[in-house]
């Protein structure tokens, strides 16, 4: 067992509850922003937070062959790596349709309008979550410009590896549900490099010699 594996083994319910709490704060902030943008009441909840090996991430996305929409954002500052926000096609279609006021099907086409709508939602969700983690861990996190992809989950993860260069072996997975008539489910992945994950775990009080 290496240094990071040893630390992750010590990550217990208290630390995961703390992560879930801060993710819930981020979801609440995102819901407020989405409600203002859509002029409709939006509620969000975070049912699950976990840290998973990267090779299991496609399963969370519905399987390596599942078509999804994903927005990748490089993050820099006290932690380095990337953030990946993913939506299944149905969830993406619902959100885009609500934002632009007409029915869409991203399997047929993603134009500039659809891409802009998805990036706007991703910016809100990503920013709200990163701000919550910055405050909780007392760290600086600076997001880069988001990049949109619509492809199979396995292919998107491969692109993330290429775009981010040396990436970590683990991802912090925050599953998000948008409640109400939308019935939208998404996943928010924080993929730090090994040094950044080590730093985050220390901030959470998980430390080993």
Per residue in 79-138, pLDDT (tens digit) is: 888 888 888 888 888 888 888 888 888 888 778 888 888 888 888 888 888 888 888 888
Is a pLDDT exceeding 60 seen at residue 9? Answer: no
**pTM score over 0.85:** no
Mean pLDDT of 138-151: 87
Is a pLDDT exceeding 70 seen at residue 160? Answer: yes
Alpha helices in the chain (DSSP H): 3-9, 13-38, 57-60, 89-100, 112-137, 153-164, 194-203
- Are the beta carbons of 62 and 92 closer than 8 angstroms? no
According to the model, what pLDDT value does residue 209 have?
46
Q: Using CA atoms, how far apart are residues 84 and 18, in angstroms rounded to an integer?
A: 21
Residues 6+ apart with CB under 8 A from 8: 51, 170, 201
Is a pLDDT exceeding 60 seen at residue 161? Answer: yes
Q: Which residue has tokens 């993710």?
A: 23
Neighbours of 40 (CB within 10 A): 12
Mean pLDDT of 132-159: 87
Per DSSP bridges, beta strands 184-192 and 43-53 are unpaired
Q: What's the CATH superfamily of 3-203? A: CheC-like (3.40.1550.10)
């Amino acid at each position: 067992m290496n240094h990071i594996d040893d630390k992750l083994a010590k990550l217990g319910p208290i630390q995961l509850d703390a992560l879930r709490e801060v993710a819930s704060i981020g979801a609440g902030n995102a819901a407020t922003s989405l409600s203002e943008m859509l002029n409709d009441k939006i509620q969000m909840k975070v049912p699950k937070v976990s840290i998973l090996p990267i090779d299991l991430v496609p399963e969370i996305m519905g399987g390596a062959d599942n078509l999804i929409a994903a927005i990748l954002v490089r993050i820099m500052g006290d932690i380095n790596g990337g953030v990946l926000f993913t939506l299944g096609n149905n969830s993406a279609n619902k959100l885009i349709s609500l934002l632009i006021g007409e029915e869409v099907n991203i399997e047929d086409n993603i134009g500039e309008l659809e891409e802009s709508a998805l990036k706007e939602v991703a910016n809100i969700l990503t920013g709200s979550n990163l701000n919550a983690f910055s405050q909780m861990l007392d760290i600086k996190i600076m997001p880069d410009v988001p990049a949109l992809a619509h492809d199979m989950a396995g292919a998107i993860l491969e692109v993330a590896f290429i775009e981010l260069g040396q990436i970590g072996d683990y991802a912090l997975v925050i599953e998000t549900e948008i409640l109400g008539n939308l019935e939208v489910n998404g996943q928010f992945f924080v993929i730090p490099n090994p040094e950044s994950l080590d730093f985050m775990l220390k901030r959470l009080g998980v430390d080993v010699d």
